[in-house]
C-alpha cells in the first residue's frame, strides 16, 4: 500500500525551487521505489509570481505560516528561506503543530539546534538537516547511519565551494585573489558580500554540525579556530607547488584523549592526498574511523538540484521511518561547556618572509625560531625584490617541524619586531 505524505515548501529560491521541481518530476518514481506518494500541498513565498512561474497550483500558495501549519494535508514542512530569525520562527511553529521539519539552513542549525530539537522532541516530530552541510553529498546520513560503528578519530573537509573555486583558479591560472573573486561573483559562486564564505564562517557553521555528529558531543562554533583566504597570495601557492603541496581551505576536526581540535583555515596538503583532486566548486569530506580507516565522500556542495537531492532525501527518510532519531549527545547550551577543546593545537607550518639581504640574516631568523622552541626542517629562496627601504630584500620560505600554535605565533611576533625580516605569510600544513 502506498503511503501518502504531504509537504509544504517555505521559500522557492534556488534550493526551494529545485526541491519543488524534484518532488513533482520524481513523484511516480518515489511511489515505485520508496512506496510513498509525496505531494506538495502548500508553498509559502514572498513573491507569488515566483511560484506561478514554477507551475505551482495557485490554490496551494499560502499567505502565512499559520495557514501552512493549519493545513491538515501537510505532514512535513521544508524550510529553504535561509537566514535565522524568520526561519527559526517558522520552524518552531511547524514543530509545535507536530509537523516534522526538513531544513537546509546550516547557520540556524549551528546556532539554534538545541532549541529546535527540544521542541521537536516535545511534540513527537522529526528535525532533519542533511542539506545543511556539503550540498548533495550525503555526509550527515553517513555519520548517522553509515559509520556509527566507528569511533571517528578525524575529519578533513573541503566544505565551501566558493573558496575552493577561488583557490583552484588561483592555482591553475596564477590569477590574484581579487581577480578570481570578481569572476566568482559574476558566475554566482560568491555573494556581493563574500565575507561569510571567504572568511570561513560558512565552513565553521558546517564543521560545528558535522563534528557534533561525528564525535557525539555538542560542538559550539564559537570554539572553532577560523582563518579565511582573503590574504592568500599566489606567491605562496606557487611556492607550495614547488614543494609538492596544494592549498585548500580545510575544515579540520580531530578527536583524541587530549580533547577535540577544531579549525578552519587555508592548509597545504600533499599532492598525494585524495583531497587535492577536489577542484572548482566541488566539496569532499575525508573521514578516519578506528574500524573502517579512511573513506571520502565527494560531490557538488551547492546548487539547486544537488542541494534539493539532500532535502528530498530527508523527506523520503522521514516518510519511511516511523522511529524518530535525535542527537546522541546532550544537545544543549550547557552540553557545550563540558567539551574539552584543544585550543593550542599542533601543526607543521610554512612561513614566507621578506629578509634583509645581508650576511647573517638567515642565522638570526633561525635563532629567533629556536629561542621560541620552533625547529626548521627546510629553507628555500626564490628571486629578489626591493622592500620599502633601499636595501634589497629576499623572499625566503621556511618549513617547520610540528610545533604548537602558541610557539609559532611567538616566533612570528619576535621576527616582526626585529629589523631583519618581516613575516609575509603563515600557512599550516596537514601532513
Q: Which residues are catalytic?
A: 206
Phi–psi pair at 28, nearest 5 degrees: -65, -35
- Residue 218 CA: distances (Å) to CA of 222, 254, 260, 334, 373: 12, 14, 11, 9, 34
CA angle in degrees (0–180, nearest 5) for 185-281-260: 110
DSSP H/E element including 312: helix 304-320
d(CA 392, CA 398): 19
Neighbours of 340 (CB within 10 A): 10
Residue from 18, 73, 7, 75 nearest 44 by CA:
7
| β strands within 187-270, DSSP E | 225-226, 245-256, 259-270
The full DSSP string for 7-75 is: EEEE--SHHHHHHHHHHHHTHHHHHHHHSEEEEEEEEE-SSHHHHHHTT--GGGB-SSHHHHHH-TT--
d(CA 72, CA 318): 17
d(CA 260, CA 253): 7
- Residue 157 CA: distances (Å) to CA of 103, 139, 194, 266, 429: 21, 11, 20, 12, 14
Cell output for 72: 491538515
Are the beta carbons of 95 and 102 closer than 8 angstroms?
Answer: no
CA angle in degrees (0–180, nearest 5) for 291-161-144: 30
Are the beta carbons of 71 and 43 closer than 8 angstroms?
Answer: no
Amino acid at each position: 500500500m502506498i503511503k501518502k505524505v504531504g509537504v509544504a515548501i517555505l521559500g522557492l529560491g534556488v534550493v526551494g525551487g529545485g526541491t519543488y521541481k524534484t518532488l513533482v518530476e520524481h513523484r511516480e518514481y518515489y511511489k515505485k521505489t520508496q512506496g510513498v506518494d509525496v505531494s506538495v500541498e502548500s508553498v509559502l513565498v514572498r513573491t507569488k509570481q515566483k511560484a506561478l512561474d514554477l507551475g505551482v497550483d495557485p490554490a496551494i500558495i499560502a499567505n502565512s505560516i499559520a495557514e501552512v501549519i493549519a493545513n491538515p494535508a501537510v505532514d512535513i514542512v521544508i524550510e529553504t528561506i535561509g537566514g535565522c530569525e524568520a526561519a527559526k520562527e517558522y520552524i518552531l511553529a511547524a514543530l509545535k503543530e507536530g509537523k516534522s521539519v526538513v531544513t537546509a539552513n546550516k547557520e540556524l542549525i549551528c546556532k539554534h539546534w538545541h532549541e529546535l530539537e527540544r521542541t521537536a522532541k516535545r511534540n513527537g516530530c522529526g528535525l532533519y538537516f542533511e542539506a545543511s552541510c556539503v550540498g548533495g553529498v550525503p555526509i550527515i546520513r553517513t555519520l548517522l547511519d553509515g559509520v556509527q560503528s566507528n569511533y571517528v578519530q578525524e575529519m578533513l573537509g573541503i566544505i565551501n565551494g566558493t573558496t575552493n573555486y577561488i583557490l583552484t583558479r588561483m592555482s591553475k591560472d596564477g590569477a590574484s585573489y581579487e581577480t578570481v573573486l570578481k569572476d566568482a561573483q559574476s558566475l554566482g559562486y560568491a555573494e556581493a558580500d563574500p565575507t561569510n564564505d571567504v572568511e570561513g564562517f560558512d565552513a565553521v557553521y558546517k564543521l560545528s554540525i558535522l563534528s557534533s555528529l561525528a564525535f557525539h558531543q555538542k560542538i559550539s562554533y564559537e570554539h572553532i579556530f577560523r582563518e579565511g583566504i582573503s590574504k592568500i597570495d599566489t606567491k605562496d601557492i606557487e611556492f607550495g607547488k614547488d614543494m609538492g603541496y596544494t592549498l585548500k581551505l580545510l575544515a579540520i576536526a580531530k578527536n583524541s584523549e587530549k580533547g577535540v581540535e577544531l579549525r578552519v583555515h587555508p592548509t597545504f596538503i600533499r599532492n598525494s592526498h585524495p583531497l587535492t583532486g577536489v577542484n572548482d566548486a566541488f566539496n569532499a569530506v575525508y573521514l578516519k574511523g578506528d574500524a573502517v580507516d579512511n573513506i571520502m565522500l565527494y560531490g557538488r556542495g551547492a546548487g539547486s538540484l544537488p542541494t534539493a537531492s539532500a532535502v528530498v532525501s530527508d523527506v523520503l527518510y522521514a516518510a519511511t521511518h516511523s522511529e524518530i532519531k535525535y542527537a546522541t549527545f546532550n544537545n544543549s547550551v550547557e552540553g557545550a561547556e563540558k567539551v574539552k577543546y584543544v585550543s593550542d593545537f599542533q601543526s607543521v607550518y610554512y612561513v614566507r618572509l621578506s629578509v634583509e639581504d645581508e650576511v647573517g640574516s638567515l642565522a638570526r631568523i633561525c635563532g629567533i625560531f629556536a629561542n621560541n622552541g620552533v625547529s626548521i626542517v627546510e629553507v628555500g629562496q626564490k628571486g629578489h625584490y626591493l622592500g620599502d627601504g633601499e636595501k634589497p630584500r629576499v623572499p625566503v620560505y621556511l618549513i617547520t617541524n610540528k610545533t604548537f600554535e602558541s610557539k609559532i605565533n611567538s616566533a612570528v611576533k619576535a621576527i616582526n619586531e626585529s629589523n631583519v625580516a618581516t613575516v609575509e605569510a603563515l600557512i599550516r600544513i596537514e601532513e
